[in-house]
Amino acid sequence: MIQRIYLLTAILVCYTGIVLSQTAFQVIPLGVKGGSDESNLSAYLVAVKGTSNYVCLDAGTIHAGLQKAIERGTLKGTATDTQKNLIKGYLISHPHLDHLAGMVITSPEDSPKPIYGLPFCLDVLKEKYFSWKSWANFGNEGEKPTLNKYRYTPLSTENEIPLDQTSMQVKAFDLSHAAPGQSTAFLLRDNKNYILYLGDTGADTIEHSQKLRQLWQQVGPLIQTKQLRAIFIEVSFPNEQPDKSLFGHLTPRLLMNELAVLDTYSGHALKGLPVVITHIKPSGDNEVKIKKQLQELNTLQVKLVYPEQGVMLEF
Amino acid sequence: MIQRIYLLTAILVCYTGIVLSQTAFQVIPLGVKGGSDESNLSAYLVAVKGTSNYVCLDAGTIHAGLQKAIERGTLKGTATDTQKNLIKGYLISHPHLDHLAGMVITSPEDSPKPIYGLPFCLDVLKEKYFSWKSWANFGNEGEKPTLNKYRYTPLSTENEIPLDQTSMQVKAFDLSHAAPGQSTAFLLRDNKNYILYLGDTGADTIEHSQKLRQLWQQVGPLIQTKQLRAIFIEVSFPNEQPDKSLFGHLTPRLLMNELAVLDTYSGHALKGLPVVITHIKPSGDNEVKIKKQLQELNTLQVKLVYPEQGVMLEF
C-alpha cells in the first residue's frame, strides 16, 4: 500500500513537472542587432510550439536571417520558400528602417499575407515605403495602383486581434520611443499562454511617460499565474550612455529599474522569468559591457537570454 | 646596329604594353545582387588605383559588405572605421530601397560626407527616408531639425562635378527605369580615364526611350580612344522573363542589343572592353542561366566580368 502511494506520488510529481516545464512557444530570431549590420537586424519568428505557423515580430532582416537558420539546421528548404510558406504575417512595432527593411526588400518574392501594426505605424509604411517612389506599392492601401500582396491590418490597444492562419491572438500597447516618437509592444496569446515583445522603447523616467508602467500593470498578473512565458525587450546602450544621447532606448540600469516596477505588479514573481535582450547596438565592446552590467544588476534574478540569429528558443 | 634596333623595338613594345595595361581604377564591390539578400545589395566602392579615397556607387549594403571585404583581406580594420575614413561620398542612382538601405542603416556611425544624385533622387531621400518618420534626418535639407551629417549635392547632366576629397569628377546621365520611373548613370573621370556605372535601367525598345542611345553616343568615342576602362551595367533577369514583367530591367538579349548600338558609336571597338554584370536577381537558377545566355550571345566579344562581394577589381 505504502509502495503504491509512493508510486502514485512519483507519477504525479513527474506529470506535474512535465506540465510546468512544457514549452508553449518557439521563437527563431532572424536578426538580433540594434543597428549597423544589415544582415542581422531585429526580426523574430514566433509560433506555437510544434507548429510551423509563424508570425514575424519586426522585420529588419528576413532573407539573410532565414539563410542563417537554414545553415544552422533550424529550418529546412530555401530562404524564399520558407518566407512564403512559414511566415503568416508581420507585426511591425514602429516604422524605423532597421525594423522593416527586410520585409520591404524581400516583398517581390513573398506570398500574400497581413501586415499588423498600430495605425501610426501602418500610415508610415504606406506613405514612406510602399509609396512607388521608394518601393513598388505591394500594400492594399496608399499610392495607386496597389498590388494588394500585403493587407494592412490595424491592431488595437483595447482588444485582442486574431493572427491569421495561426491559433494566436495579439493585443498592442503604446510605447514611447524618443517622445513624441511612438513604438509598440505586442502581447501574443495562445490558449492560456502569453509572450510579450517590446519594440524600441525608452524608460518612463527619461521619456516622461507612463507607458511602460501601464504595460507592467497589465502583464504583472500574468507573471504571477505563470502564464507569461517570456519578455523580449531592448537594451541598446551600456550604462555609460548619457541620458541626453539615449534616443529613446534602454540601458541595463534603466531596464532593471523598469523590471523592478514590473516585479511589484507581479507580486514579486519575476525570479526565473526569461527576459530576452534584444537590439544591442554592436559598436565597440557594447555587447560585452551590456551583458556584464545586466548580470551585475540582476538582483531580481530574471533569466537573461541573449538570442542568436537562426538559433531556436523555446518558452 | 640591327641588334640595337631590335633592342629599342623590344623596349618600346614593353613600355607601350605597360602603359596600355596600367590600371586606372580599383573597385571593391560591397554588394552585387539585385534583390532579396539584405547582406549583398548593390554598392560599389571606386577609387583611383593606388589610393584609398573611395566613392560608393549606390549603397544597398554597406556594413555587411565592408565586413566581407575585411574577411577576404581586401580591406583592413573594422567595418565602421573603414566606412568613416575611406568612403568620401555616396552616389545614388535612384531611390529604391535596395540601392540605399545600407547607407541609411549605417548613418548613425558614419562620418560627414556628401550624397550625390540627380535632383529627383535627392528629393526622395529627403521626403521618404531621412524624414524623421522612417529615420532621423541626417541630411542638411528636408524635415527639421536637420542633423547635417550628409550634404545633398545635386549632379548635373550638363557638366562634370568634382567628387570631394578625391581626384575624380562625375557627369550624370538620365536613365529610364520602368518609365516614368527614373534612374541615373555615372560617368566617372580621373585625368584621361573613365569608368561608367549604370543604375537599374530598362532597354530603349521596352522603355520607349532614347536614354541609352544618348548615353552610348556620348561614351562611344571614349571606347575608341581606350579611355573608358569598364562599364558596370545590370542584367536582372534571364531571357525567359516576359517583356511585360521586366519592371525596367535588362536581360542578356536586351543588354547585347544595347551593346550593339554602343559598338557602332565606338567605331566597333568594343572587343575586350570589361562589362561588369550587376544586379542579377538571385531567385532560382537565374545566375547560372544569365551567365550562360550572356556567353552565348557575346558575339561582340566584350570581357564579361562577374563581381564578387569584397573582392577587388582593377580596370
Q: What are phi and psi of B102, to 5 degrees?
A: -60, -40
Of B61, B97, B124, the CB nearest to A104: B97
* Widest pairwise Cα distance in chain A: 79
This complex has an ipTM of 0.93
Question: How confident is the model over B228-252, as a mean pLDDT?
Answer: 97
Residue range A120-131: mean pLDDT, rounded: 98
Q: Tell me the pLDDT tens digit for each residue of A187-206.
A: 999 999 999 999 999 999 99
SS3 content of chain A, % helix, strand, coil (to 5): 35, 25, 40
DSSP string, B141-186: SSSSSP--SEEEEE--SSS-EE-TTSS-EEEEEEEESSTT-EEEEE
> CA-to-CA distance for A68 and A78, rounded, in angstroms?
11
Of the pLDDT bands very low, low, confident and very high (cuts 50, 70, 90), residue B18 is very low
Give the C-alpha separation, A246 to A253, whole Å.
Answer: 13
Q: Residue A31 pLDDT more than 80?
A: yes
The partner residue sitting opposite A109, judged by closest CB among B36, B62, B134, is: B36
Q: Which residue of chain A comes nearest to B128, CA vs CA?
A: A128
pLDDT in tens, A201-256: 999 999 999 999 999 999 999 999 999 999 999 999 999 999 999 999 999 999 99
Q: Kindly list the residues from chain A whose CB atom is less than 8 angstroms away from the CB atom of residue B128.
A: 128-129, 131, 133-134
At which residue does the C-alpha cell 568613416 appear?
B84
Confidence of residue A22 (pLDDT cuts 50, 70, 90): confident
Does domain B24-314 sit in CATH 3.40.50.300? Answer: no
Residues of B near A (Cβ–Cβ under 8 Å) read 35-39, 41, 61-64, 67, 79-80, 95-98, 101-102, 104-106, 108-109, 124, 127-129, 131, 133-136, 247, 283
pTM for the structure as a whole: 0.93
Helix locations, chain B, DSSP H: 2-21, 63-71, 79-86, 101-106, 119-124, 204-207, 211-224, 252-265, 286-297
Q: In which residue are the cell numbers 505504502 written?
A: A2
Say yes or no to pLDDT of B128 above 70: yes
- Whether pLDDT at B180 is above 90: yes
DSSP codes joined into one string, B114-140 = EEEE-HHHHHHIIIIISSSSSS---BS
State which H helix or E strand residue A198 sits in.
strand A193-198
Rounded CA separation B2/A122 (Å): 83
pLDDT digit string (tens) for B140-152?
Answer: 999 999 999 999 9
Chain B residues touching residue A41 (CB < 8 angstroms)? 38, 105
- Whole-angstrom distance, CA of residue B211 vs CA of residue B180: 12
The set of cell numbers assigned to B219 is 561614351
Enumerate the β-bridge partners of residue B87.
B54
Exposure pattern of A267-280 as b/e (b: 16+ CB <10 Å)?
eebbeebbbbbbbb
Task: State the Cα–Cα distance between residues B216 and B265, nearest whole angstrom.
Answer: 7
Q: Which of B30, B37, B38 to mutate to test the interface with A (most CBs of A within 10 A)?
A: B38
Cα distance from A134 to chain B (closest Cα, Å)? Answer: 5
pLDDT, position A283? 85
pLDDT, position B283? 85
State residue A297's pLDDT score: 98
Cell of B229: 576602362
Residue B130 CB partners (closer than 8 Å, separation 6+): B104, B107, B136, B137, B138, B139, B142, B143, B150
Dihedral angle of Cα B157, B162, B164, B166, to the nearest 10 degrees: 120
Of B38, B63, B128, the CB nearest to A63: B38
pLDDT of residue B22: 84
Residues of B in contact with A105 (CB under 8 A): 35-36, 38, 41, 97-98, 101
- Contact check, Cβ <8 Å, A109/B134: no
pLDDT at res. B2: 55
Q: Please name the helix (run of DSSP H) or strand (run of DSSP E) that holds residue A253, with its range, or none.
A: helix A252-265
Report yes or no: A8 and A296 within 8 Å, Cβ to Cβ. no
Report the C-alpha gap between B294 and B272 in whole angstroms.
Answer: 15
Q: How far apart are CA A135 and CA A146, in angstroms?
A: 12
First to last CA, chain A: 39
Lowest mean pLDDT among A42-51, B6-15, B51-60: B6-15
Contacts 24+ apart (CB under 8 A), B282-289: B282/B33, B282/B34, B282/B35, B282/B36, B282/B37, B283/A80, B283/A109, B283/B35, B283/B36, B286/B237, B286/B238, B289/B238, B289/B239, B289/B240
pLDDT for res A4: 61
Q: For A132-177, what is each residue's pLDDT tens digit? A: 999 999 999 999 999 999 999 999 999 999 999 999 999 999 999 9
Give the residue among A27, A15, A33 at the shortest CA–CA distance from A200. A33
β-strand pairing of B193-198 with B182-190: antiparallel
- pLDDT over 90 at B194, yes or no: yes
- Look-up of cell digits 503568416: A88
Q: How far apart are CA A262 and CA A220, in angstroms?
A: 6
Q: Do B37 and A101 make contact, defined as CB atoms within 8 angstroms?
A: no
**How confident is residue A261, by pLDDT bands cut at 50, 70 and 90?**
very high
Residue A18's pLDDT is 42
Query: Which of B39, B133, B134 is closest, CB to CB, to A38?
Result: B39
B40 in Cβ contact with B64 (< 8 Å): yes
Tens of pLDDT along A280-299? 999 889 999 999 999 999 99
At residue A123, what is the residue type? D
Q: Assign B19 a pLDDT band (cuts: 50, 70, 90).
A: very low
pLDDT mean over A74-101: 98
- DSSP bridge pairs for A169: A162, A189
* Percent of chain A scoring above 90 in pLDDT: 92
Distance CA B130, CA B143 (A): 8
For residue A112, is pLDDT > 70? yes
The grid coordinates listed for A298 are 540582476
Backbone angles phi, psi at B268, to 5 degrees: 55, 50
Task: Return the residue in A134, A143, A236 with the most chain B beta carbons within 10 A, the one to mutate for interface testing.
Answer: A134
| pLDDT digit string, tens, across residues B156-176 | 999 999 999 999 999 999 999
- Return the percentage of chain B with pLDDT > 70, whole number: 93
Average pLDDT, chain B: 94
Looking at residue A3, its pLDDT comes to: 59
Element (H, E) at A289: helix A286-297
In contact, A27 and A197? CB cutoff 8 Å? no
Radius of gyration of chain B (CA): 20
**Half-sphere exposure in the Cβ direction for B251 (13 Å, CA):** 20
